[in-house]
Structures are given as C-alpha cells and as structure tokens.
A and B are shown apart, each in its own frame.
Chain A
C-alpha cells in the first residue's frame, strides 16, 4: 500500500512536470495568455551564445504560447476568488462579493499623484474656460468611473484605495459642475439619478450597462437640444445573460450573469437628428453605440481607442464636436502632449486645441477694436516687459525668456478680447498665461497648466483670444516667442458685446 502511494505520488510528480512542456510541444496553439503578441522565439544562435539574453526569453516564448499557462493563471485567479473571496492583480481588484474594479482607476487618482492631478485639473480647467469664453462648438463629456458611481461596492480589497480616490474625485466633480452643459456634461448626474437599486455598471466589467448608457444618452440629448434633437429609443426588456466581461477577461475566463438590455433600435428620431455633430468617444459610448446611432442617425461617431483623434480638417467640417471620455482618462487626455499619431490628447498644441483657439479668434473679431487699448502704454495695465529690449518702436531683441506681464481689464459685463500682432523669423510657440488661483503659496504667479499656447509659423502673426471671465481683472503674461529676436507690432485689448 505504501509503495502504491509512493508510485502514485511519483506519477503525479512526473505528470505535473511533463504536462506544461508537453502541452506546448503537442498543441502549441491554445488560448494564449497575452492579448498582444507573445515573446518572439530567440534564434538558435542566441540560445547557444554565451550571453544569456536569448536563453532568458526562451522560457517566455514557450510558455506564453502554452495553454497550460493560460489555465494556470485562470485556476489561480479562480481559486483566489472562490477560496479567499477576493482577488487582486495589477489591473483588477475585487470589491463587494461579485464586484470587480479596474485598479488603474484608483492608481491614477492615488495619493502619490495628488500634485500631478492638481496640475492636470488646472490645465483641463483652462481648456474648459477657453471653450466657455469662446462659446466654442466643443463639449466635453465625462463618463464616470465605476468606482465613482458604485462607491457602496468598494468593500474588501478595493476599499483600501477609496480614501485617496474620493478625496480627488470630489474636487474633480466640483470643478466640472462649474461649467454649463454646453461645455461639460458629467454623466454622473444621470447615473446617480437612476438610484442605487438599478444596475448601472456590470459586475465584472469597467463599463456601464446598457441601462446606464441609456441614461447617459438621454442626458446628452437633453443637455444639447440645439445640436441633438429627437427622442431616444425605448428599452424593450432587460434580461440577465452570461457574458464575458473586460475585467473578467483580464482575470481569464471569469464569466458572469450580467444584465442585457434589449432596445428598440429603429430610428425614432428624425433622420436628420445629429446632423453636423461629431461624437468622438471611447469604449463607454462605444458600448451603447447602436443606441447612440439610433438616437442621432446623422451624427458621426469616431472611436478613440487605439486610433488617432480627428485631425484639424475633420474638426472644421462639423457644427458641433462632442468629446466623450471615461472619467479616469478625462484629465490625462487633456494633458498628454501630441507626440505620435495615436496620442489621445485634446490639449493645447493638438488639432482640437487649435480648433478651440480658432473659435476664440473668430469670436474675438467681434470685439470693438476701434476702441482697443494698447497694453504696453496703458497705465491701468501695469505692463512689465522682461527678457527683451525694444531697439526701435516695434523691433525687440530677446535677452532671455521674453515676456510681458500686465493686468487684464475688469469684466464690466462684456467680453474682453486680447490681440497680439508680431513677426518672427522662425516657427515658434506663443503662450498666454493666466494668474494662478492660489498666489502667495510660494510658487510662481504663473504656471504652465494655467496657460494657453499654440504653435505659429514664421512671418507675421495676429492672434486674438476671448479672455475667460475668471481671468479678468487679474494678472496675465504673454510670451510672444520662445526665444530669438522678433517684432512686436501691437498688444492690445478691446471690449466686445455683452456676455
């Protein structure tokens, strides 16, 4: 009997050691672990050469392709979830029983990133201020994080992340609420209105359910009646169905019973509804794209994920541009620099940033420039010239970091426009800073996040802006060029029509 047990143990030992390798040799094309390409096989030469690099990658190359590894990860996650009642990986963390959350949601808004987040929020506010002031045809839409709406489910492992997350989330939400719906729509309002009993988000997916998405579309339509007319399709039925979810997929093979909404998808709105409207969206509007298309048949939908955002020519073709982004990416997308074709950014220097500034310039032309005030000469403006010297009435020699600081005029219930006209021999960046909200904290009066910039081509440039209300009566700083000599023809402000 002891021998039989010993043999059985040896058989198990042999089986455990042989199966993973054998599975690769016999059936290498199983379900693999990675969604991206697995590690490439090293060449025979790199395996044999003294340097261990080639041999190091061999293990990953073999086992990334092995279905046994896939099953091992799946088994480990399943055991953790069913035995320990909780799970946590680099991307997923469990909350109340049955609920999974996307971990980067918490990490992006973590305590350690607070200073960065404050800067990101300030930059976003500057963009939104400029949209509001320019009455630009651009509306940003925030699709709330699952954690923001389903906060009561943040128990267990996920609860550890809650304090820092909600600390920033309340500031973010308060910031969005300052803007009219033509500038920002926060779908948190629509989802919260559904009440906690409704299943607004999937259990094991980062996205809202069709029910949540439906409420969001209704809010979108109500917020932009000029751009989006017509009614939205009704919900016909809602039945639970087994489905694979994104977080479940990350944990491998987690399926769950989730609500599946059956909508009446026939266009109930007029075929023209949404004409001239571009809706740039991520996977949140993507998951309700059929409903969205049904509600606004003439709207153009452009999905962001993994693709380049629309270019300047595309943006100019539309009467109204709606940019939808999940809350966790909302600030990031306004703060990333435009460095590569697939950059998901809408900040200054991007086509959308230039589009907003174009709209600002367009509106600024309506200001009364016949009664414009020359800022350099105006005593009320308290202009201070730094980093440059005038060598004639308009020619300027830069010494270092040329800039003009001045006080913007008070609001007086009317638009205030600013205009600069200057010439420069090289391509440069012209930048306008607004005074920071918290002066006296030891930091500079002006900071990058509270600035507007655009790239300008060599030659003569005339740029004008409608100044946001929040900046009026306060200090501003204008950097005509980054460096080099230039000619400053004018820097002036003028009042426009009433707000």
Chain B
C-alpha cells in the first residue's frame, strides 16, 4: 500500500485517522501500532514478523542496555540490526560479487531472500535508538506498545524520514492533536500528494522512456532529457513522501523534523547535503562521521571519513555498484570543496553557483544513481557530453510518445523548482503560515492541490514511491 494508491487514500487513511484521533493515551499508540502493522502486512505479508521481531528485540535490548550499562549489549544490538539488514539487503549482492570473482555459485542459493520494504529506515531508527540510550541522550521506552508505535508508525515506516526516538517520543506519550496541527498536516499531506502524482509521476514517465532507450537510440537530447526528468522525479517523489509523512504525523499530533529544504537551490554540494534527505545525512553525521573522528583529526582523516561515510551512504541506497559509485562521487566532490574552499564551502551563497556547478554535478550524479548498470551510465555520459556520438537533439519515438501535454505540465512544474529562488514562499511554506492572509492562502492552495492530487490518484495507474527500494 502506498500513499498515492486509492485504497490507502480513500479507505485505509480515513479509517485509521478516525480511530487514532478518537483514542487518547495508550489507546492512541495502540491504534497507531495496529494500523501500522496492518499497513505493512498489506504489502509485505509475513515480513511483518521481521518488523515485529525488530520492535521487540530493540525494545528489549534498549531496556537491558539502560539497566546494565554494558557496552556489549550495545554492540550486540547494533550487530544484530546490521546482520538483519546485511542479510536481507546485501547478501545477494555480496554473493554475486564473490561468484563473479571466484566463479562460485553462492547467489542462486540466496534467491529466497526478499528485500523487506523500509528495512533500511527502521533499522537505522533502531541503531540510533540504542546509541542514544548508550550516550544517555534518550531514556529507553518502557512501554512496548509505545515503542512499537514509534518504530512502525505507518506514515514514515517505509520511506522515512529516519525519525530519532529522542525527538518524537514525547509526542507519542502526549500527542499534540489540535486544529492547527491537523490543518497544517492536512495541507502538508495534500501538497505532498500533488507533488507525487502530478510532478514526480509525470517526470518519471519521461525518465523511464529515456532510460529504456538502447545505446543506439540514445541521443544527446534524450540523455539530457532523461537526466533532467530523473533529477525532478527523485526529488519530487522522495520529498513528496516526506511531506505526506510529516503531514500525517502532524494530523496525529506527532511533530517530525524536516527531511528536505529545497536542495536544488544550494550553491555547493556541502550545502546540498544539508538540505537533501536531512534525516539520513544527520544520522550518518552523528552515528558514523563523528564517531570516526569527524574533522577533528586532521585533513587526511577528515577526507578518509568523508569517503567512508559516502561509501556507506551509496551502499545504503542500494546493493549495486552504481549506488556505491554515486556515493563516492559525492564524497569526492565534498573533499574537493573542502580542498578548494575550506570551511567556507557550506556558507557560499553565490547566486549562479547552483547553475554552473551544483546542478550539473548533481544531475550527472543522478545518472549514475538511475542507471541500471555502469555501462548504461557511461552511455548516458557519452551522449550528454557528445563524446562518442555526434550531437543530436532529436528524441526517439518512444520518448516523444511519453511527452503528452499533461505529463509535460507536471514535468515543467518540477523543472521550475530548479530555478526557483531560494527563499520564495512556495510549496511547503504555503502550508505553514499562521496569519489570516496566510490561512487564506493555505486554504486556497491546499484545496486546489488536494482535489487535483485526488483526481490524479484516482485516475492514474499504480505508481510506487522510488525510495521504497532503499
């Protein structure tokens, strides 16, 4: 079940919200837990047992860790979480690589492994929970139902954001259900729905058509169009999910931190990573980069730590070398920025830097991220940079067929985001105002995007969110 699917929007969501909002105290958390498990079971079936096991295991280890203050409980807890994630997400990848190097036949024996949706997100929440208890940044949760509600909360269960226990647990104990929060949440959810079904899905159709082209049909025009369309798609798809998650949480009285902050308006890659998938980048900063020494142990160690962090970031996104290279590519540019700009890299506000530097770097990175293989990524780069093919802006028939007016309409809205001023009061800002004029604007904007989003969701075919696979 995904947020833009009719059965979620028009059946599950009204029912679950009605029950969750009708209950208070422990009932509120119990309702969240039950509906979240149903939500997960709907798509994942028996893999729900893995989620339930993870809830119980981490709740138990959290309590023991606090009681014993023995680091072995922490190590055990983290090791088990990493083991589960490694088994379900990376076992086939590693086995395939071993097979490729040694000629063995391990991977066929692992075909039974199915990647559980959202495992990367909830496993990271578990690890941060245990580490926060160890660091005494958070108290362990005594109530299994509340902890289960936190870990399985359906709005953010399968595609994030990665919510830190310490930042939200108070809201699970005392949900801040109010008219203002509910309205802001509804507006934010509507905003996300519109972004997903109108912009992301439209751009995705164009991107898919371009990335489906064979090397022979890939022209300069198709390669650039595909890269641009994917650049729009991935941002609008992922940030839309975050908007919807944050919105639904707000309706339920739970406040979540922002996950995106107009990343394409950044001037440098350092700034980009402060605005893109904030919950992941801060997670890696707090639980990997800083424990490795961060930037406190000299230049070389800083660069090494950055490379390690971005290697893992790439791998976190998917068990494929394209993702690993994408991570290393970003890590390399971050080091380059530190070498050339020093600490000022994150503070640069040059107006055109995003057009001449940031966006080209990010767009080229997305090609690697989207490509099915390194070979395909190379073909795209060759076509985009006119390296081995003559410049040709024409588009193949299948690409042209994908650019209907309605699809282009959605894509163009997304493209505008690349050019939007950094502080323009658009989108999310429209859902967060508190003045009368702001409330009127919010009512108008949310009303329109809700109706358009609902019409699109009802009239479109099924379209899963991209970040489900991560």
Q: List residues of chain A with CB under 8 Å of any chain B CB.
A: 1-3, 5-10, 12-14, 16-21, 49-52, 55, 58-59, 62-63, 68-69, 72-73, 75-76, 79-80, 84-89, 93, 107, 110-112, 157, 160-161, 164
User: Are B183 and A10 in contact, CB atoms less than 8 angstroms apart?
Assistant: yes
User: Are A2 and B439 in contact, CB atoms less than 8 angstroms apart?
Assistant: yes
User: Nearest CB to that of B445 among chain A residues?
Assistant: A9
Per CB-CB distance, the 4 closest pairs between chain A and chain B, nearest first, are: A88-B404, A50-B45, A72-B458, A59-B7
Cβ of B426 to closest chain A Cβ, rounded Å: 18
Interface range, B side: 35 or more
Scoring B43, B187, B397, B456 by chain A CB atoms within 10 A of each residue's CB, the highest score goes to B397
User: Are B398 and A10 in contact, CB atoms less than 8 angstroms apart?
Assistant: no
**B357 at the A interface (CB under 8 A):** no
User: Are A76 and B459 in contact, CB atoms less than 8 angstroms apart?
Assistant: yes
20 A-B contact pairs sorted by A residue (CB < 8 Å): A5-B439, A7-B183, A10-B179, A12-B446, A12-B447, A13-B190, A20-B10, A20-B458, A21-B10, A59-B6, A59-B7, A69-B458, A73-B459, A87-B405, A111-B397, A112-B396, A157-B404, A160-B400, A161-B400, A161-B401
User: Are A9 and B183 in contact, CB atoms less than 8 angstroms apart?
Assistant: yes
Residues of B within 8 A of A75 (CB): 455, 459
User: Are B406 and A87 in contact, CB atoms less than 8 angstroms apart?
Assistant: yes
Assess A9 versus B446: contact at CB under 8 Å? Given A50-B45, A68-B458, A107-B401: yes
User: Are B13 and A17 in contact, CB atoms less than 8 angstroms apart?
Assistant: yes
Q: Mark B432-464, 1 if CB is under 8 A from A, else 0.
A: 001110011011001100110011101100100
User: Are B442 and A9 in contact, CB atoms less than 8 angstroms apart?
Assistant: yes
User: Are A10 and B182 in contact, CB atoms less than 8 angstroms apart?
Assistant: yes
Given contact pairs A10-B186, A16-B450, A55-B1, enumerate 16 new A-B contacts (beta carbons under 8 Å). A1-B436, A1-B439, A5-B442, A10-B179, A12-B446, A12-B447, A13-B190, A17-B454, A20-B6, A21-B14, A52-B45, A63-B458, A76-B406, A80-B406, A84-B406, A112-B398
User: Are A84 and B44 in contact, CB atoms less than 8 angstroms apart?
Assistant: no
A337 to B456, alpha carbons, bound, how many Å? Answer: 40
Residues of B within 8 A of A14 (CB): 14
User: Nearest CB to that of A62 among chain B residues?
Assistant: B7
Residues of B within 8 A of A68 (CB): 458
**B11 at the A interface (CB under 8 A):** yes
A164 to B43, alpha carbons, bound, how many Å? Answer: 43
**B180 at the A interface (CB under 8 A):** yes
Scoring A13, A20, A85, A164 by chain B CB atoms within 10 A of each residue's CB, the highest score goes to A13
User: Are B405 and A86 in contact, CB atoms less than 8 angstroms apart?
Assistant: yes
List residues 380-431 of chain B with CB under 8 A from any CB of chain A. Answer: 396-398, 400-401, 403-407, 409
**B42 at the A interface (CB under 8 A):** yes
A17 to B248, alpha carbons, bound, how many Å? Answer: 13
Residues of B within 8 A of A17 (CB): 9-10, 13-14, 454
Q: Mark B205-221, 1 if CB is under 8 A from A, else 0.
A: 00000000000000000
Q: Mark B176-207, 1 if CB is under 8 A from A, else 0.
A: 00011011001101100000000000000000
User: Are A164 and B459 in contact, CB atoms less than 8 angstroms apart?
Assistant: no
Residues of B within 8 A of A80 (CB): 405-406, 409
List residues 1-52 of chain B with CB under 8 A from any CB of chain A. Answer: 1, 5-7, 9-11, 13-14, 41-46
Assess A6 versus B183: contact at CB under 8 Å? Given A59-B6, A72-B454, A72-B459: yes
Cβ of B201 to closest chain A Cβ, rounded Å: 13
